[in-house]
Structure 1
Amino acid sequence: MSTSTRPRDAALGTGLGRVLLLVYGTFALSASARALVQISTRFSEAPLAYLLSALAGVIYLAATVGLAVGGPRGRLIALVSCSIELLGVLVVGTLSIADKVAFPDDTVWSRYGSGYGYVPLILPFIGLWWIRYQRPSRNRDQQA
């Protein structure tokens, strides 16, 4: 194997992949911690918003694990997690603007993640691109 050829499963945790791991890990921790505090102290004020924040934390954690593990299983976990994340931020973002009564308190995905600098909106696009970009190609598999 030449030095320019990467091992098949190492790509997700290198370069930009490490930055994604850091960002996803940070969001997993922050969304989960925020949801835990909100659910345990003020659940009756906005149960939907707080449960959605908890769900976001679980999805960010799954994406982090998938990116860290790599390989076919890790890629699948990351792909599914990032896809659900993208769908969630688009749906919750739209609903939080259209129906403010249903969202009296913000979630990570409210208003497309505006409270987090729109990172929740951009992150799944970058994650999905990275998973696709680092996908083992048929040519690389045949050369190895």
Structure 2
Amino acid sequence: MTDEKPGFDLGQGPGRLLVWLYGVFTVAAASRSVVQMLMDFGRAPLAYVLSAIAAVVYAFITYSLVRGGPAARKAALVCCAAELAGVLVVGTWTLAAPSAFPDATVWSDYGMGYLFIPVILPVTAMVWLRRGVTARPA
């Protein structure tokens, strides 16, 4: 017995919106970090590197959602959990020690600069990814 529901595709239905949002966030975070690193890396290297890491995580989740299948589902779940942990850690860090971040990251203040989508998106994605998993019989 597999963990996959018959006919369930991660990139279909509401999954399409997740693919689109993760794609947009990949481009936004990557563009932001590349421009900031090229223009003024010395100003806030930690913030710029964290935005680049966010872009890589977003890209991998986008790829996993498009690819589909049990292995991609597991990889996306792990990445979404890591993303959520990152948003919570960086969000708390930016509030507790704002001087460490002279410029914002994608995850600063729990994604406030992006309408809190960075904290909502991984939770929504994990619910969607779990939707396709059925419990194994005892």
Distance in 2 between residues matched to 1:22 and 1:88, nearest whole Å: 21
- Unmatched segments (≥5 aa) in structure 2: none
The residue aligned with 2:71 is 73
Structure 1 residue 11: Cα displacement: 2.3
Indicate whether 1:12 and 2:18 are aligned.
Answer: no
Q: Superposed, which structure 2 residues align to 1:105-144 within 5 Å? A: 105-136=103-134, 138=136
How far is the alpha carbon of 1:136 from its aligned partner? 4.6
Q: Which amino acid aligns with 2:68?
A: G
The aligned amino acid for 2:77 is L
Instruction: Provide the rounded CA distance (Å) in 1 between the counterparts of 2:37 and 2:71.
Output: 32
Counterpart position of 2:91: 93
Q: Distance in 2 between matches of 1:119 and 1:70?
A: 23
Q: Give the corresponding residue for 1:46.
A: 44
Greater Rg over alpha carbons, structure: 1
Counterpart secondary structure, 1:12: coil
* Residue 113 of structure 1: how far off its partner (Å): 0.2
Aligned length: 133
% identical aligned pairs: 48
| Equivalent residue, structure 2, for 1:55 | 53
Q: Tell which deviates more after alignment, 75-84 or 39-48.
A: 75-84
Of 73-82 and 124-133, deviating more is 73-82
Structure 2 Cα separation of the partners of residues 42 and 84 of structure 1: 28
What's the offset of the Cα at 1:80?
1.4
- Note the C-alpha offset of 1:138: 4.3
Q: Which runs of 5+ in 1 are unaligned?
A: 140-144
* Residues 85-139 of structure 1, C-alpha deviations (whole Å, 9 max, x = no match): 0000000000000101101100000000000000001001001111101225548
- For residues 57-81 of structure 1, the C-alpha deviation after alignment (integer angstroms, 9 at most, x for no partner) is 0000011011111112211221111
Separation (CA, whole Å) in 1 of partners of 2:34 and 2:75: 24
- Residue 24 (structure 1) aligns with: 22
| Secondary structure at the counterpart of residue 105 of structure 1 | coil
* CA RMSD, 1 decimal: 1.4
Identify the structure with bigger relative contact order (alpha carbons < 8 Å, sequence gap 6+).
2
